[in-house]
A and B are shown apart, each in its own frame.
Chain A
Amino acid sequence: MKTTPLHSGAKSVSDDSAESVSGIAKTNARISRYMVSPSVLLLLVWMVVPLSMTIYFSLIRYNLLYPDDNGFVGLENYEYFLTDEGFGAGMSNTLLLVGAVLLITIVLGVLISVLVNQRFWGQGVVRVLLISPFFIMPTVSALIWKNLLLHPVSGVFAAIWTFFGAQPVDWFSEYPMLAIIIIVSWAWLPFAILLLMTAMQSLDQEQQEAARLDGAGPWALFYHLTLPHLARPIAVVVMIETIFLLSIFAEIFTTTGGGPGYETTNLAFLIYSQALLQFDVGMASAGGLIAVVLANVAAFFLVRLVGKSLTDKN
């Protein structure tokens, strides 16, 4: 901030006060530069220190059970991690989980936000009910779904299946990954609804009305007007959900523990179990770095998709 409009305005009144005002502005500008530094410094330390430690650990032999045996092993940890049978499973489970949850939350999110954008009785209450799952902590949603809803004997789903004369499904042993996907989708659907609902409110109503008068059907309206309008919020939902879904942990930790076998082990859980259950710090670090690289590849494309619009707003 070199000169403020106030500076010239105040000058005509009195040189003295004008100088002090611009002086204050300059001082403030100088001081304010240092006000960013705590945030930047903290985040820099937060990124650099643990990450470089991860890199270092990934290159040495480091098992907490044999703490004295710390030789340099080069890329051996990566080799072990990448050829471990858990890696293939963890990788495909991660992609399956992210992909399926994204698909479910976006499709249902768009449909539901279009639906609740109409005027009807009790709209406010419906919105509150729809977004509620977002505020439930992951460990609660996982256990409530597992024990009260999906339980093969006393669960609500079992009761519905029995009512229709079907054999109740033991979700967590027959379709464990599907069960996890259902829980995570339920937890993240409100996020998509919340953002898309807000975006729907800025939809040009006159344009819609004009198109309707021109004889456009509801499907044409949706496809040619609503969907393009939602493109950006959908991209934002994809970006933020991907960041969080890549690291889903608590839902797996509290329900399946990654099993049976590797069936519900994603990368996050695999690395956790290598580090804190098998104490192989070296291999877990190699896995951690692979997860970081994966997240960054995803982030690179996602930020290019929406990142520009984040800061170009003003």
Chain B
Amino acid sequence: MLNFNMLSLKQRRRLNTVLLGTLAWGVALVIFFPIFWMILTSFKTEIDAFATPPQLFFTPTLENYTQINERSDYFHFAWNSVVVSFGSTIIGMMIAVPAAYSMAFFETKRTKTTLLWMLSTKMLPPVGVLVPIYLLFKDMGMLDTRLGLVIIYTLINLPIMVWMAYTYFKEIPKEVLEAARMDGASLLQEIWRVLLPMSKGGLASTVLLSLILCWNEAFWSLNLTASKAAPLTALIASYSSPEGLFWAKLSAVSTLACAPILIFGWFSQKQLVRGLSFGAVK
């Protein structure tokens, strides 16, 4: 009797697991559906893409991908995205890592205040400074230049980079750096040979987060660029003007624009949490 009851309890639990698992899969598929549908549509002809009702089965075509340069110079925009994202990430890291090193290992009374103040610059809504930045850029001839975007992106991501590098450096015992000093290492050697190798993983995810944020940024890129320096976010926005049905091509361009970041994100989701929450959730 007892045995039977325990078995049924076990079975009930297993049934629960199966039901909850199915539910979780269902929710995940619903949330992922728009991305799946975008990828699917990118393999349709423009006529199939506009079919009513929407079709799940069709003859796939690579036409959109081969013609991607026809409506707009895709690679020009993609190259702008690459240059701007990597440029601002590299410059940002070169400024953020020394700051984080100093704050993590030579803490002063003001360190915590400085960190919180840096975070507070993120709370400045971009529209609050849109007008002066636009006019300054116009006067300096920096509108629609990659340099302009690199500067803006470096500034808006700097607080996050400092924060993230700081939390990773905090985990390295001071003694290790002191041992390096014992061996007569200079400041540069200490950072280059000891600190950076020890925090490789953390810094890599800092770089990744910065790349993702730059790649997807869509306020400054839409307002400060027109065509010459416009990144992919702006290219996609140009599809919003209703000058014909280009949905299959829109899907193909979007898929190409999002794929690298999506894959980056999948691989680094665990490490990203720390950067995204400023270290408040681990």
Q: Separation in Å of the A116 CB from the closest CB of chain B? A: 5
| Chain A residues with a Cβ under 8 A of chain B | 1, 4-6, 10, 17, 20-21, 24-25, 27-29, 31-33, 35-36, 38-40, 42-43, 46-47, 49-51, 53-54, 57, 112, 115-116, 118-123, 125-149, 153-156, 158-159, 162-163, 186, 189-191, 194-195, 198-199, 202, 232-233, 236, 240, 243, 246-247, 249-250, 253-255, 267-268, 271-272, 275-276, 281, 284-285, 287-289, 291-292, 294-296, 299, 303, 306-307, 309-311, 313-314
Chain A proximity of B13: nearest CB distance (Å): 11
Q: Are B27 and A39 interface neighbours, CB within 8 A?
A: no
A243 CA to B103 CA, complexed, in Å: 25
Q: Is the CB of A240 within 8 A of B277?
A: yes
The residue in B17, B121, B159, B178 that gathers the most chain A C-beta atoms within 10 A of its C-beta is B178
- The 0/1 profile, CB within 8 Å of A marked 1, for residues 220-232 of chain B is 0011000000001
Number of A-B contacts (CB under 8 A): 347
B residues lining the A interface (CB < 8 Å): 17-18, 20-21, 23-25, 27-29, 31-35, 37-38, 41, 49-54, 95-96, 98-99, 101-103, 105-106, 108, 112, 114-136, 154-155, 158-159, 162, 170, 174-175, 178-179, 181-182, 184-187, 190, 212, 215-216, 218-219, 222-223, 232-234, 236-237, 239-240, 247, 250-251, 254, 257-258, 261-262, 264-266, 269-270, 272-273, 276-282
Contact indicator A32/B247 (Cβ below 8 Å): no
CB pair A53–B132 under 8 Å, yes or no, is yes
Expressed in whole angstroms, the Cα–Cα distance for A147 and B248 within the complex equals 10
Q: Which listed residue (B31, B112, B158) contacts A42, Cβ 8 A?
A: B158
In the assembled complex, which residues on chain A have CB atoms less than 8 Å from the CB atom of B54? 148, 154-156, 159
CB-based contact A126/B279 at 8 Å: no
Contact B20 A311 (CB under 8 A): no
List the A side residues contacting B31 at CB < 8 Å.
Answer: 129-130, 132-133, 186, 189-190
Given A28-B190, A51-B129, A254-B237, A247:B219 Cβ within 8 A: yes
Which residues does chain B contribute within 8 Å of A194, judged by CB atoms?
269, 272-273, 276
A120 to B28, CA, bound (A): 13
Which residues of A lie under 8 Å from residue B136 when comparing CB positions?
Answer: 50, 53
- Contact (Cβ within 8 A) B184 A29: no
Given contacts A35-B98, A39-B162, A43-B155, contact A138 B218 (CB under 8 A): yes
Q: Which residues on A sit within 8 Å (CB–CB) of B25? A: 120, 122, 126
Q: Assess whether A198 is in contact with B254, with CB atoms less than 8 Å apart.
A: no
Chain A residues, Cβ within 8 Å of B184: 20, 24
Pick from A35, A127, A284 the residue with the most CB of B within 10 Å. Answer: A35
Tell me the complex Cα distance, A139–B98, Å.
Answer: 35
* A-B pairs with lowest CB-CB distance, top 8: A120-B21, A53-B132, A250-B218, A50-B129, A32-B102, A35-B98, A135-B265, A292-B128
Assembly CA distance A31 to B216 (angstroms)? 36
Beyond A276-B130, A284-B131, 13 additional pairs, beta carbon < 8 A = A40-B118, A42-B95, A43-B158, A118-B21, A120-B21, A129-B28, A135-B265, A139-B222, A143-B236, A243-B123, A253-B222, A271-B127, A281-B135
Are B269 and A25 in touch, CB under 8 angstroms? no
Which of B21, B101, B233 is most buried by chain A, counting CB atoms within 10 A of its CB? B21
- In the bound complex, what is the Cα–Cα distance between A250 and B203 (angstroms)? 29
| B219 close to A144 (CB less than 8 A) | no
Contact B155 A141 (CB under 8 A): no
Can you name the residue of chain A whose Cβ is closest to the Cβ of B115? A311
Among B182, B190, B281, max chain A CB count under 10 A is at B281
B176 to chain A, nearest CB (A): 11
Contact yes or no, A138 B125, CB < 8 A: no
* Residue in contact with B24 in the complex, picked from A17, A27, A126, A246, CB distance below 8 Å: A126
Contacts of A233 in B (CB 8 A): 277, 280-281
Which of A38, A139, A292, A307 has its CB near the most chain B CB atoms (within 10 A)? A139
Alpha-carbon separation in the docked complex, A294 to B128 (Å) = 11
Which residues of chain B are near A137, meaning CB under 8 Å? 215-216, 218, 232-233, 236, 257-258, 261
Q: How far is the CB of B112 from chain A (nearest CB, A)?
A: 5
**Inter-chain contacts of B118 with A (CB < 8 A):** 39-40, 43
> Closest approach, in angstroms, between the C-beta of A156 and any C-beta of chain B?
5
Distance between B119 CB and nearest chain A CB, rounded to angstroms: 7
A148–B251 touching, CB < 8 Å: yes
Greatest chain B CB density within 10 A among A27, A141, A143 is at A143
Docked pose: A198 CA to B188 CA in angstroms: 36
- The reply to whether B280 and A309 form a contact with Cβ atoms under 8 Å apart is yes
Shortest beta-carbon distance, A255 to chain B, in Å?
7
In the complex, what residue of chain A is closest to B234 when comparing beta carbons? A139
Neighbour of A134 across the interface among B127, B265, B281, CB < 8 A: B265
Q: Are A50 and B133 in contact (CB under 8 A)?
A: yes
Tell me which of A118, A236, A276 contacts B280 (CB under 8 A): A236
Contacts of B102 in A (CB 8 A): 32-33, 35-36
Residues in B neighbouring A253, C-beta threshold 8 A: 222, 237, 240
Residue of A nearest to B162 (CB): A39
B128, A289: Cβ atoms under 8 Å?
yes
- The answer for the CA separation of A128 and B266 in the assembled complex, in Å, is 6
